[in-house]
Structures are given as structure tokens and as C-alpha cells.
Amino acid sequence: MIMDGNGRWATAHGLSRSAGHEAGLRTAREIVEAAVREQVGTLTLYAFSSDNWKRPTAEVTALMRLFRRAMLGEAKRCLENGVRLTILGRRDRLPASLRQTVDQVESLTASCTRMHLRVAVDYSARDAILRAAAAVRGEVISREHFTELLARVDQDDIPAREVDLVVRTGGEQRLSDFLLWECAYAELLFVEKMWPEFDADDLAEAMADFRSRNRRYGLAPEQVAS
């Protein structure tokens, strides 16, 4: 999920951008629970891109505080729902207090198996690709091996999974440096609604849309039908 549109939603309602992010957190909670009900295996929420560091300091600070509060608040709920929570992205640039909270929540929920919730924070697909490529050192390796290296540079699960469906709210039709390698054959869905307006029904609709698609991975249609 590319959770876009918090700021525009807030401005349209005469609120601060930070209030928009607060509203976005409420949506994230609802969508996580809905995804568990929809039997999603792995849900990745794009919460903060590496390029988002370039935003005004006040907004960045407010977001980092919000992430920490969200992690602390959601830990128990994740545990109850069988949700394993991890973050995806660089950890070394996060505030120490947030990093500590992330460590705690990750170990607390480590044995949960109903759904894996990954929150992408300080995430950049291109940076991850560059770091993984540096580890290859000119060797010729398989796609699968490279996917593993990519997961490793962001301390993600190994083996990493390909993305099935990307949903981006907020009306923009782009990936903004999200899981570029893993999205090679992902289905893309762009939704006009701003993230704070997105709800469980919208998720169900997105899932139904996904199920109706034909994925061919380069094959001819008749090869896939058989």
C-alpha cells in the first residue's frame, strides 16, 4: 500500500499536514485488521520514503514521533491478531528512540504467523538495489539470489517475496521508489481517494479487482489458461 494523500486531505479539511498523518494512522489500523480478515499473507505499508527526509523538519519530526507512538500502541493489537510487525528500510538514520521501539515490537511479535506486516520507513528501492548490487561484486547471479540480497540489505525476510498487488491512494500514478525490483510483475491499482478516506470496503474492492486479473508473466494467454 502506498499510503498517499494525507497532506492534501488535511489541507482540504482546513487541518495541518500533521493532523492528516494522524488520520492516516487511523486508516492504517483499519486496513491492517481488514487485511487479516482478507487473509493477506504479507502487507507492506509505505510510510516514509528516503526522499521524504527532504520535507520540512517539523513534518519529519512529527512523523517520527507518530511512528514511535504507533509502534508502541499497535504492539499489543498485533500480538492479539497474530500479526508479525517488522520494518523495511534503513534503520541507521532513524531516531534512536524509534529504533529501540522497533526492536522491541519486532521481537515481541516475531512468532506471529497470521500475517506479516512490513512498514517501509526510510525506504528507497533504488538505494536497496545499489547496496545489493555492491554485494554482488561483478559475479553473475540469479534473480532469486539477487532478491535475497535485496532482502538482506534491508534486514527483511529471506527468501523475499515478489509483490502481487500495489495499491496507491491519492490519485497519483507512480511508484515513488517503492519495491521496484519486487514489483516486476505486480498488479497496480491507483485509487483516487486520499489515504485517510480509504477503508475496509475499498480494500475488499481492491482485492476483488486483483482476483479478476490475468497474470501471464510473459507467456501467451493460452499457455496460462492451461
- Euclidean distance between CA atoms 93 and 110, whole angstroms: 23
Contact call for residue 7 and ligand IPE (CB under 6 A): yes
Closest CA to 4 of 195, 199, 198: 195
Cα maximum dimension of the chain: 56
CA distance 106 to 13: 35
Report the Cα 33 to chain-centroid distance in Å: 15
* Residue closer to Mg ion, measured from CB, 4 or 22: 4
> What binding mask, one character per residue, do residues 145-174 give for ligand IPE by CB under 6 A, x or -?
-------------------------x-x-x
- Is 6 tagged catalytic? no
Side-chain-side CA neighbours of residue 183 (13 Å): 19
Closer residue to Mg ion (CB): 51 or 106: 51
- Contact pick of 16, 42, 52, 155 for ligand IPE (by CB under 6 A): 52
How far apart are alpha carbons 96 and 185 in whole angstroms?
A: 36
- Contact between 89 and ligand IPE by CB under 6 A: the answer reads no
3-class DSSP state of 14: coil
75 contacts: CB under 8 Å, gap ≥ 6: 85, 104, 105, 108, 109
Does 5 contact ligand IPE by CB under 6 A? Answer: yes
Residue from the set 18, 44, 49, 109 that interacts with ligand IPE by CB under 6 A: 49
Q: Is 4 in the site for Mg ion (CB under 5 A)?
A: yes
Cross-strand bridge partners of residue 147: none
- Tell me the site size for ligand IPE, rule CB under 6 A: 17
Q: Is 4 or 122 the residue whose CB approaches Mg ion more closely?
A: 4
Nearest Cα residue to 6 out of 60, 19, 178:
19
Work out whether 6 is an interface residue with ligand IPE (CB under 6 A). Answer: yes
CB of 117 to ligand IPE, least distance (A): 15
Number of residues that bind Mg ion (CB under 5 A): 1
Active site residue 4: yes
Q: Which residue is nearest to ligand IPE (CB)?
A: 7
Binding residues for Mg ion (CB under 5 A): 4
**Annotated active-site positions, please?**
4, 52
